[in-house]
Amino acid sequence: MVTYDQLTEAASYLRHAIGDVPDIAFILGSGLGHMADVIENPVYVDYGDIPHFPVSTVAGHRGRFVYGCIHGKKVLIMQGRVHYYEGYDMSQVVMPVRVIGLLGVDKLLLTNAAGGISEKLEPGDIMMISDHISTFVPSPLICSYYNKLGVRFPDMTHVYDVELNSYIREAFAENDIDFRSGVYIQVTGPQYETPAEIRMFAGMGADAVGMSTVCEAIAARHMALEKYPDRNIAVINTCGAGGLPEQLTNIIYEGIHEGDSFDAIVSAADKAVKETQVMFALGSLDNLIKAGRLNKLVGYAAHRFNISAIGVASPGGRIELRHKFRGMKKTYDKLIDTLRETGFAGGELVISHCMNEEGAEKLGHGTGYKYAHDYPDHYVEQQYLPDGLTDRKFYVPGENGYEKKIREYFKKIKGEPEEE
């Protein structure tokens, strides 16, 4: 097994050889080594020259690092990788990823040549890995020095960076490159899979299969968590429902946009929670009864006599009923009265509703908003995102299955010319 001292010694050698910290690193799979040919002012470092470093033994894997620039970015490329089936243990297989991480590289792109499982894939298709299955290979995180590289139990919900993948999707779309996305499963190899195994993998949800990549992605994700040990998480208790989550989202966005510190943003959000009064009107008390907040006998009487209620959420999150009356006709006047009772003297007012659009509209909810379903093709042009995000793309449909239909639909409703 590779030791931590061997990792640091290898990283020190490579750092001295290339003389800089790359912006991004690539691991090139079978048949993709020629990408390194486009690097400007290349520096070559053979794997065999790096202390303790595993050497590729598979045809088509050159077995060297290439460092240089591509379009002004400092790039480190691995021309070839090592595999578990070559006789290396898993700590050796992921040693290159560990060394890249110790160099300070925070962006890693993994590529491979894989076998298709999904019937939607054809030979030559490009598939972006959206998730993986690693059950059939040993974990690369089994070692005694895990705490020097990351946490013991790292979360694997988002191994493949969502933001980076969105950039790749946009680049594919802008260059009219067809691609798919799917689940990749890694097996040990070197033998190929039997028909029965392929059927099993398909039943597990895999779209493609190969003998690499997943273990490297896990090791990289493990180190990414350690790379940002000061990353903060704040849990903000809204103490109620209503429009407060939307307000907090705007407060957090504005704080990030203004460059405020984490503590300042959390403080502003907490202040909003304390200063915001949540008020509600209930046409039925059934949910209060089910939640144990109202006596069943009282609830039966309220249901029998069509009793409605207006209440507020206290700072501690407790529900306090202020007014009870028959029917909903008096609700809107009573809401205004209750606002005055709670000391509201003007300011931001957020109106939310649950299956009561008519009532919300009477209070001014949605004024000026164009309801998309009232327009042809259920689309109307208006600003949906906050200022500062209006030009941001969060999703670009690809050419994979139903995504292609979504892409064509977007072009149709927006009046964009169809692709020839």
Closest-CA residue to 410 (of 383, 378, 375) = 378
Q: Quick one: DSSP state of residue 121?
A: -
96, two tokens: 């290159």
pLDDT at 30: 80
What separation in angstroms does the CA of 243 have from each of 121, 248, 249, 255, 280? 44, 9, 10, 19, 11
292 inside domain: yes
pLDDT at 135: 94
192 inside domain: yes
Find the CATH number of the domain harbouring 286.
3.30.1180.10
Least-confidence region, from 17-26, 47-56, 278-287, 350-359:
350-359
Q: What is the pLDDT of residues 228-237, one digit of tens each?
A: 555 566 667 6
Q: Do residue 270 and residue 281 come from a single domain? A: no
pLDDT at 364: 61
Q: Do residue 210 and residue 283 come from a single domain? A: no
Q: Do residue 237 and residue 345 come from a single domain? A: no
Cβ neighbours for 53, distance < 8 A, ≥ 6 positions apart = 10, 47, 95, 96, 99
Least-confidence region, from 68-72, 88-92, 248-252:
248-252
Q: What is the pLDDT of residues 157-209, one digit of tens each?
A: 889 988 888 888 899 989 999 889 999 999 999 999 999 999 999 999 999 99
Q: Do residue 142 and residue 260 come from a single domain? A: no
Q: Do residue 270 and residue 283 come from a single domain? A: no
Q: Do residue 185 and residue 315 come from a single domain? A: no
What separation in angstroms does the CA of 376 have from each of 265, 273, 368, 380? 41, 40, 18, 8
Share above pLDDT 90 across residues of the chain, in percent, rounded to a whole number:
38
pLDDT at 213: 96
- Sheet strand arrangement including 108-110: 40-46, 64-70, 73-79, 24-28, 108-110
Closest-CA residue to 137 (of 205, 195, 215) = 215
Find the CATH number of the domain harbouring 164.
3.40.50.1580
420 inside domain: no
418 inside domain: no
Instruction: With a cut of 90, say whether residue 13 has pLDDT above it.
Output: yes
pLDDT at 293: 64
Q: Do residue 24 and residue 156 come from a single domain? A: yes
Q: Do residue 97 and residue 26 come from a single domain? A: yes
103, two tokens: 């160099």
155, two tokens: 């979360």
pLDDT at 336: 72
146 inside domain: yes
The count of domains in the chain is 4
pLDDT at 332: 67
**406 CB-side CA count, 13 A:** 9
Q: Do residue 268 and residue 284 come from a single domain? A: no
What range defines the domain where residue 132 resides? 4-227
pTM above 0.85, yes or no: no
pLDDT at 70: 93
Q: Do residue 26 and residue 147 come from a single domain? A: yes
